[in-house]
Chains A and B, each alone.
Chain A
Amino acid sequence: MEYLLIVATDPEAEPFVPEDDNVGDWVDDLESRGIRVRGQRLRPPTDATLVRMRGGELLVTDGPFTESKEWMAGYDILEVESLDEAIEIASRHPMARFGRIELRPAWPMDVHEPGRDRHERERAEAAAADG
């Protein structure tokens, strides 16, 4: 299964200790095992750009400057057997201590299926699953 591992800051986490930032070992280990597809650190929200189309008009702004102290600081894409493996890997990332990690499973879809068909099919499937 493919997971997006989101590295986030967290004001409630342990204070950052630069000497304990062993993210290089973490990446080397995963790449030698073929688990990490790719990943990057991200610049902070102050360097973000927001793009919106509203009423056919393009709006480009800097931001978003939300008050939140928890923001996305990086990402990795993992290819693993199961959630348990992803959890074990996430738990060894230094930012699990100094921040927090969110694991999001990929939700594969056929991008060429017409949007209307997909929308209706998935609604019907959700209704069937809810019994």
Chain B
Amino acid sequence: MTQAPATHDAVARAYRDEWARVTATLIRHTGDWTLAEDCAAEAFARALERWPAEGVPRNPGAWLTTVAKHLAIDRLRRRTNEAAKVREAAEMDEVEGGRNVGRRAGVPLPATDDLVDFDPAGDWGEGADDSSDDGVDDRLRLVFTCCHPALALDARVALTLRTLGGLTTEEIARAFLVPEPTMAQRIVRAKQRIRNAGIPYRVPDAASLPERLGGVLAVLYLVFNAGYSASGGDAERRGALADEAIRLARLVVRLMPDEGEAASLLALMLLQDSRRRARVDADGELVLLDAQDRSRWDAAEIESGLAVLRALGRRTGGIRGPYRLQAEIAACHATAPTADETDFDRIAGFYDELAALDSSPVVALNRALAHGFAGRAQAGLDELDRLEASGALDRYHLLPAAQAELLVRLGRTDAAAARLHESLALAPTEAEQRQLRRRLAEVTAR
């Protein structure tokens, strides 16, 4: 009996590959997000029942979409019938009791409002049509609607993971360390807001596309970082978030192959994620990049990231966006055989370009540090001191930590130790505090 596990795997694979397609198509047809999710989930449950006996269909996505559509039609018909019964009862009431005389005939009861534009017998197309007449993939509509700027950021994240990613509310709640009812309510409210505020289910027009795509990528990177920066919570569950972010980034790249920044974000995630195992040592302590055991980096993932970058390099000249530059920087680290052999000159060049696009003080900090590591420690330190004087990074623990590293390079051990003490007092997590104490011990031992 090896068949059952095999079909079980096929359903699990189909869930990963087809959930977004099935749900996105149903949302376009019904306009009802919860109905779409429920029917998609039910279709996968049917697959679990039927595929072991009937075999896995040749096109699982088409099978699932068709089943889910029929389920949706059934439910909507039932709703229409119930609404009609309610209306009939109300009219009887009007005739018999005369209490509702004020209600004019022909005013539709609100329960039927959802169905005004819906015709269950209407054109649903045949097979797994995942795009409407305009040829736009429904998943792309879903991506942009989930990440609409009129939704709060935490709502965008939750909706993206639930509706696009197919994660359960419980899984999302656990990953973000939020009680499940809180997360459930966040998702319900987001859906209500889409409907009430009039957020459209469509891909933005060309004029607003770059800005809106930037918003989508920011949500995906936020999900990735929530998984990657394992500060607090369960590392494994958070790792699942990083995996999910990479999967969704791959989907966006497939849907929008000409958008260089989307591909760059994917490369950036892959290159950062390749270091996941090396970021924590056997005792669960944080290990900084220069001290990581590079043999524990995921070589296959690095190669995937580099391949994405190579393809981008062939395709365009033009200006490089922020994700491209960050991915190039990550690639410099990923390809250096040892920390000492890192090409910091090249990295500093990318940071110069990045700082011209992004005036954030954190970019300025990393730029100064890169120049410092590229053999210009004093110039880097001067830049960090200017940043400190500007007050833009007040109470940010990584500023004194960066100053300490350049002071060490200049041989000013006492000043470096003082900066590490400052950093220690500001570090937000225990893991970071322990890491800083270890560094402090190394520096003062010299």
Contact residue among A3, A83, A107, A114 (Cβ-Cβ distance under 8 Å from B150): A83
Most buried by A among B110, B184, B202, B207: B110
Answer whether residue B1 sits at the interface, using C-beta atoms and an 8 A cutoff: no
Answer whether residue B135 sits at the interface, using C-beta atoms and an 8 A cutoff: no
By secondary structure, the B interface counts as loop
Answer whether residue B3 sits at the interface, using C-beta atoms and an 8 A cutoff: no
Contact: B107 with A110, CB < 8 Å? yes
Enumerate A13-67 residues with CB–CB distance to B below 8 Å. none
Contact residue among A81, A88, A105 (Cβ-Cβ distance under 8 Å from B196): A105
**Closest B residue, CB atoms, query A130:** B188
B contact residues around A1 at 8 Å (CB): 198
Q: Mark B87-114, 1 if CB is under 8 A from A, else 0.
A: 0000000000000101110010010000
A contact residues around B200 at 8 Å (CB): 81-84
Answer whether residue B192 sits at the interface, using C-beta atoms and an 8 A cutoff: yes
Contact: A3 with B198, CB < 8 Å? yes
B contact residues around A123 at 8 Å (CB): none
Please classify how large the interface on chain A is, using the bins under 10, 10 to 19, 20 to 34, 35 or more: 20 to 34
Nearest CB of B to A116, in Å: 11
Contact: B110 with A121, CB < 8 Å? yes
A contact residues around B184 at 8 Å (CB): 131
Nearest CB of B to A89, in Å: 12
Q: List 30 A-B contacts (CB under 8 A).
A: A1-B198, A3-B198, A82-B199, A82-B200, A82-B202, A83-B148, A83-B150, A83-B197, A83-B198, A84-B199, A84-B200, A84-B204, A84-B208, A86-B198, A88-B207, A88-B208, A105-B196, A105-B197, A107-B196, A112-B102, A112-B103, A113-B103, A113-B107, A114-B100, A114-B102, A125-B110, A129-B188, A129-B192, A131-B184, A131-B188
Q: Mark A119-131, 1 if CB is under 8 A from B, else 0.
A: 0010001000111
A contact residues around B168 at 8 Å (CB): none
**Closest B residue, CB atoms, query A87:** B150
Interchain CA distance A112-B105 in the complex, whole Å = 12
Beyond A3-B198, A112-B103, 7 additional contacts (C-beta under 8 Å) are A82-B200, A83-B199, A112-B102, A112-B104, A112-B107, A113-B102, A129-B192
Interchain CA distance A41-B198 in the complex, whole Å = 26
Interface size on B, residues (CB 8 A): 21
B contact residues around A107 at 8 Å (CB): 196
A88-B208, A112-B104, A125-B110 are known contacts. Are A105 and B198 too (CB-CB below 8 A)? yes
Most buried by A among B103, B198, B200: B198
Answer whether residue B338 sits at the interface, using C-beta atoms and an 8 A cutoff: no
Enumerate B67-126 residues with CB–CB distance to A below 8 Å. 100, 102-104, 107, 110
Interchain CA distance A82-B197 in the complex, whole Å = 8
**Closest A residue, CB atoms, query B149:** A87
Q: Mark A88-117, 1 if CB is under 8 A from B, else 0.
A: 100000000000000001010010111000
Enumerate B166-205 residues with CB–CB distance to A below 8 Å. 184-185, 188, 192, 196-200, 202, 204
A contact residues around B196 at 8 Å (CB): 105, 107
B contact residues around A112 at 8 Å (CB): 102-104, 107
Interchain CA distance A83-B103 in the complex, whole Å = 32
**Closest A residue, CB atoms, query B113:** A108
A contact residues around B100 at 8 Å (CB): 114
Interchain CA distance A14-B197 in the complex, whole Å = 27
Nearest CB of B to A99, in Å: 19
Enumerate B133-161 residues with CB–CB distance to A below 8 Å. 148, 150
Interchain CA distance A3-B197 in the complex, whole Å = 9
Interchain CA distance A125-B195 in the complex, whole Å = 14
Interchain CA distance A129-B111 in the complex, whole Å = 12
A contact residues around B150 at 8 Å (CB): 83, 87
Nearest CB of B to A131, in Å: 6
B contact residues around A129 at 8 Å (CB): 188, 192
Nearest CB of A to B37, in Å: 12
